[in-house]
Amino acid sequence: MELIEDVSRPPLVHVKGIPLIKYFAEALGPLQNFTPCPDDLLISTYPKSGTTWISEILDMIYQGGKLENCCRAPIYARVPFLEFQCPGIPSGLESLKETPAPRLIKTHLPLSLLPRSLLDQKIKVIYVARNAKDVAVSYYNFYNMAKVHPEPGTWDSFLKKILEFLGRSLPEEIVDIIVQHTSFKKMKENPMANYTTLPSEIMDHDVSPFMRKGITGDWKNTFTVAQNECFDDHYAEKMAGCDLKFRCSLKSQLRE
């Protein structure tokens, strides 16, 4: 594949007060001429809130649960990204022209930036939300790997950008407190975050704490060798044809 060089972390562009990836902002003009179909389904989410997860679920539903059909193309081709635009890659609108009905369409645009035609057509919409703290961490990591975003800098500086977007200004020491307070160790000890305020009839923390270890690979302390082999065989059978890979262990763990 030819290397695309013209995506070198351009600055965000604000449209009606909404910060957008430069290329996505440029797509808003042509997007106003988009004509939806009555049976289109719009997946509306904030980035890193489970968009791909719900997209795969819906595509499987539309394909009658047939795994081979859901492996027909990458998810971004099966569920076109409405406002997507990037040099050297088909835009969301171009992909939609090649997508047979009924179409699944994803968007991260707020209501104020959606094409009027979508609102007039009154198509079905599925909205997915996720807690803001997990979104922030996921989005930070996504910023690091997705080069159409500006350089995110450190986690501390990224958190400050969130504060700026929220219209809030906090002293450096307060930002440091937030960073420390939202570590796994601190949240595990915090009764306002670890669910220990619920009655034991609902959650029995004597059996297992809600927030356990915060590490990857702890399954090795529970699975026997035979159970692990059985699980691997069953997983391989049920997930045949799926190229989604998970890391079940890490060489090292970051501990507080």
Residue 157 backbone phi and psi in degrees, to 5: -70, -35
**Which listed residue (108, 149, 181, 205) is catalytic?**
108
Burial 107-136 (b: 16+ CB within 10 A, else e): bbbeeebbbeebeeeebeeeeeebeeeebb
User: Does residue 234 carry a catalytic annotation?
Assistant: no
Catalytic residues: 108
